[in-house]
Amino acid sequence: MEILLRLSGVIDAVNRLFGKFVIWLILAATIISAANAIARKAFNIGSNAFLEIQWYLFGAVFLLGAGYTFLQNAHVRIDVLASRLSMRTRMYIDIVGILVFLLPMCWFMIDFAWPVVMAAYVSGEVSSNAGGLIRWPVYALVPAGFLLLGLQAISELIKRLAFLQGKGPNPLLQGAHDGQDDIHGEEAQK
């Protein structure tokens, strides 16, 4: 279990890095959006490339940030129902959800998207808009994002199994919702 927990730590570090990176993409998209609006309104200058790069950046934020969101326990949950279950039951539900739904979906999305990325790369596909951008980089965000999410799912699976074996802290009490990185104790073990 110790080796798996180290692997989990490496995956967490990678997704933390991407999480910090996508914050800057939001700033870049905001600056580009503001500059584009000012150029259009003040100077009557427009660019489809500026419009497209905005949605490329927003796509990157959502796809590359999904693994980080899972790491921080900031994803959507039905807390009204989950709060009525024991912590062990919640862990088992998460394990089944990761194994039966999340990991297969990640695999499917990577398998489905990769040929599209390669076809766009080989053909040199470009946006049909005048002055538009090449498409393969934005297409590549789909398999990259689902790869990061799938890796984080493996990390979360390891952490839940470690918790159930009494070899790790409660992963549900870590992350963005409580502002603490590591919680131990009897309350966390319920």
Alpha-carbon gap, residue 143 to 163, rounded angstroms: 30
Residue written as tokens 């419009």?
51
Residue 93, domain member (yes or no): yes
Question: Residue 113 sits in which domain range?
Answer: 2-167
Residue 110, domain member (yes or no): yes
Residue 173 CA neighbour count, 13 Å, CB half? 14
Total of domains in the chain: 1
Residue 169 is encoded by which pair of tokens? Answer: 């802290």
Residue 183, domain member (yes or no): no
Residue 186, domain member (yes or no): no
pLDDT in tens, the chain (190 residues): 888 999 999 999 999 999 999 999 999 999 998 998 898 888 888 778 888 898 899 999 999 999 999 998 877 766 677 778 888 888 898 899 999 999 999 999 999 999 999 999 999 988 888 777 888 999 999 999 999 999 999 999 999 999 998 888 888 877 644 444 443 344 444 4
Q: How far is CA 15 from CA 24, 66, 148, 152, 156, in A?
A: 15, 9, 7, 7, 12
Alpha-carbon gap, residue 29 to 61, rounded angstroms: 10
The pTM (predicted TM-score) of the whole model is 0.81
Residue 148 is encoded by which pair of tokens? Answer: 């990061």
Residue 174, domain member (yes or no): no
Residue 50, domain member (yes or no): yes
Residue 99, domain member (yes or no): yes
